[in-house]
Chains A and B, each alone.
Chain A
Amino acid sequence: MKPAPFAYKKVRTLEEAVALLAEHKDARLLAGGQSLIATLNMRLSAPSLLIDINGIGGLDGIAHKSGTVEIGALVRHAQAERSDVVAKHAPLLARALPHIGHAAIRNCGTLGGSIAFADPAAELPACLLALDGEVDVTGPKGKRTVKAPDFFKGLFETALGPQDVLTAIRVPAASKDSRVGFAELARRHGDYAIVGLAACARADGKGNNSRLADVRLAFFGVGATPLRAKKAEAALAEGNVDAAVAALDLDPQDDVQATAAVKKHLAGVLLRRVAKQLMEARA
């Protein structure tokens, strides 16, 4: 028995969850539990109450509607991985999902949980930023939508307030001229990345003359939040990969996995790999 004692309540509605969060200041929401339960086991977190939101209906759908792909917060990584809608209309997510944890973890972990937890080395926050997606949040004052750049505030810090529940994420559906790229380096497949890169762009023009426009590069594992590399984006749009690598202005810190210098070098390696993916015609 490793976690400190806590009470447990399974709720059926969002309103119940929000009300319980208001009543119990140190309560935590339980979705997939793949980060939360690890922190409970290590007693890094000792809430008085776990509010299990898995019984709330309507949060586990994946839908393609009006130019966007909307994914309910309780959709499991494995479920999204198997989804034809995600494969066809959200190809960046489809590329990133197999890198999230291991099979047993992807069966439980949720997309909403990954975004809400906002681990700086996690794949989905970077995808959301690269795609300029948004999240739906329900709190004491009702429902609101937050754009990705406004959502990730700092280390494990988001725009979610203490009584908020993230209910869905939304990304623009890919079009014929969409290009996506994804790569990460981890010690073992499925581990958190040492460095990773999620990217998207639009092919401008046709065939061999096509250029990239609207390049968006979101690196992860190199800062407190996923980070855009805007100077490199501009250079890549000019078609110059060497200049894009030279223009990387990331400032990572040393961590247990790698030194800052190694991370900076690896970021350049990943940029070259992802640039190649972006320039390939979409299959």
Chain B
Amino acid sequence: MSDLVLDISLTVNGEQVRERIEPRTTLVDFLREDLGLTGSHVGCEHGVCGSCTVRVNGEIVRGCLMLAVQCDGAKVETIEGLSDSGEVADLQAAFEQRNALQCGYCTPGMIAAAQDLLLQAKERGGVPNRDQIREHLSGNYCRCTGYHAIVDAVEAVAQARAGGKQ
């Protein structure tokens, strides 16, 4: 009936993946340990810190609060995919220019969450303000920067993408 080992098939960063896993494997552990995609980080492992944020079927999720088995048939995108495709290149450049990272541990999750906000804003046709940026990134801890530089970077990219000056 139900097994302690299951086969799953999914797309990760555009590549078809088939793996045999234990149901108890969280998505972020699967990405890091089975696929070697260590860009998604493991922080608190109970949904508080946001460092494991990845995209599943176009929506950001906590990689530690989803099981890999739940992603059978899904389309998963990690920071490696977002980075290689160039989708977040402007965010990455803005983070670097504005010192929006120090140790960098939170950065992959922070970029994924920021990109999620910017995509939503594009759909609605508006530019998110600083309060909205802070609210959308509220689920991502950064212990280095104090957040101001991160909000600066995301705001600059939001304006640039909407056609303003960076």
A residues bordering B, Cβ < 8 Å? 1-9, 30, 33-34, 37-38, 40-42, 49-50, 52, 54, 78, 98, 101-105, 107-108, 188-190
Contacts of B65 in A (CB 8 A): 33-34, 37-38, 105, 108
A9 touches B2 (CB 8 A): yes
Known: A34-B65, A105-B65. A7 touches B2 (CB 8 A): yes
Among the stretches B9-17, B21-29, B87-95, B150-158, the one at the interface with A is B21-29
Contacts of A102 in B (CB 8 A): 50, 138-140
CB closest residue in chain A, given B58: A107
Residues of B within 8 A of A6 (CB): 4, 23-24
Among A3, A78, A98, the residue within 8 A (CB) of B24 is A3
- Any A CB within 8 A of the CB of B3: yes
Distance A98 CA – B138 CA, assembled complex (angstroms): 12
The residues of B with any CB-CB pair to A shorter than 8 Å are 1-4, 6, 22-26, 29, 45-47, 50, 53, 59-62, 64-67, 69-70, 113, 116-117, 134-136, 138-140
Max count, chain B CB within 10 A of own CB: residue among A4, A8, A54:
A8
- Chain A residue, CB-CB nearest to B141: A188
**Residues of A contacting B26 with CB < 8 Å?**
2-3, 37, 41
Residue of B at shortest CB range from A52? Answer: B70
Q: How many A-B residue pairs have CB under 8 A?
A: 102
Nearest residue (CB) in B for A44 is: B46
A108 touches B62 (CB 8 A): yes
Give me 17 A-to-B residue pairs in the complex whose CB atoms sit less than 8 angstroms apart, sorted by A's number. Answer: A1-B29, A7-B3, A30-B70, A37-B47, A40-B24, A42-B46, A52-B69, A52-B70, A101-B139, A103-B116, A104-B60, A104-B61, A104-B113, A104-B116, A105-B47, A108-B61, A190-B139
Minimum CB distance partner of A7 in chain B: B2
B45's partner among A30, A41, A98, A189 (CB-CB below 8 A) is A41
